């Protein structure tokens, strides 16, 4: 019976200890509730203040997140110290230092994405609504979060990319400028006058509404002697979004075709010459 008495005594001691710390636990819960309310209030205030500034949306979101995290960190420390009086800030920091090493190894990828996300949010190169391309993925940036970035492809699909992928790999930002250069190849027959054909093509491209002509020149270069034609490299500037490029290509190709037809300049089909040996 002696072991049973010892067990009962230990259970009673645990019960008394639990009852003794109930007030402290209650106060800790109140502190957590207050922390939650203050974090929500800080988010609201930060959003209201940052709306009046010219900060980029991604950077503003980062500052709002940090304001909430700072309040939660202080609130959790106060709550833990109240619930467990023997736990001092020094002990907590020491425990965090030891535990962070193990946590760092266990959650390496998560922390890598977290740090990459902070760097992406701080730097100016990529913004919300930019059209980007990385490792075969292309689309419009809809959200830049601390761990991941949401990209909407042109076909409507949503791609969620880890921030470390965007940070470590080459990233193309197609809308970094409002204007982007595009090029097509246009061929004319070998019997046509090259200078006249170049002039007709340039006038046709310049007349297009989607072509930027006031700040960017339209460039037409004779490019090569192809199998059935002399090919021109036709280069112009238009809007930087994919739809802008497609619309401008459509207008330019239609305009060049109409202008060459009107001028009587041939756009040749592929020719094939057959030679038969006399027998």
Higher pLDDT, 274 or 159: 159
Evaluate if pTM is beyond 0.75.
no
| pLDDT above 80: residue 242 | yes
How high does pLDDT run on average in the chain?
A: 81
Phi, psi dihedral angles at 221 (to 5 degrees): -125, 135
Q: Dihedral through CA 134, CA 140, CA 144, CA 148, nearest 10?
A: -50
Which pLDDT belongs to residue 31? Answer: 81
Structure confidence by residue, pLDDT tens digits, 182-220: 999 999 999 999 999 999 999 999 999 999 998 899 999
pLDDT at position 4 is: 66
CA dist 240 and 177 (Å) reads: 7
Above 60 in pLDDT, residue 100?
no
Lowest mean pLDDT among 79-83, 135-139, 179-183: 79-83
């Amino acid at each position: 019976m002696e072991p049973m008495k010892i067990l009962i005594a230990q259970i009673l001691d645990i019960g008394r200890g639990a009852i003794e710390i109930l007030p402290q636990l209650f106060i800790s819960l109140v502190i957590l509730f207050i922390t939650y309310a203050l974090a929500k209030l800080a988010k609201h205030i930060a959003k209201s203040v940052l709306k009046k500034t010219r900060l980029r949306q991604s950077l503003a979101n980062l500052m709002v997140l940090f304001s909430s995290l700072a309040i939660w960190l202080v609130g959790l420390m106060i709550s833990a110290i109240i619930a467990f009086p023997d736990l001092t800030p020094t002990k907590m920091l020491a425990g965090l230092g030891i535990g962070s090493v193990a946590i760092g190894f266990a959650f390496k990828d998560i922390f890598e994405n977290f740090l990459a996300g902070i760097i992406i949010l701080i730097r100016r190169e990529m913004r919300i609504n930019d059209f980007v391309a990385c490792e075969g993925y292309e689309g419009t940036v809809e959200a830049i979060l601390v761990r991941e970035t949401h990209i909407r492809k042109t076909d409507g699909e949503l791609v969620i990319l880890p921030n470390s992928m965007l940070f470590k790999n080459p990233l193309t930002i197609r809308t970094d400028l409002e204007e982007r250069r595009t090029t097509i190849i246009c061929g004319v027959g070998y019997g046509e006058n090259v200078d006249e054909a170049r002039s007709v093509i340039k006038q046709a491209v310049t007349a297009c509404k989607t072509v930027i002509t006031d700040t960017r020149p339209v460039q037409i270069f004779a490019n090569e002697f192809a199998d059935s034609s002399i090919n021109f490299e036709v280069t112009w500037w238009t809007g930087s979004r994919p739809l802008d490029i497609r619309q401008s290509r459509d207008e330019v190709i239609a305009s060049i075709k109409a202008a060459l037809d009107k001028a009587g300049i041939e756009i040749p089909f592929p020719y094939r010459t057959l030679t038969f040996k006399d027998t």
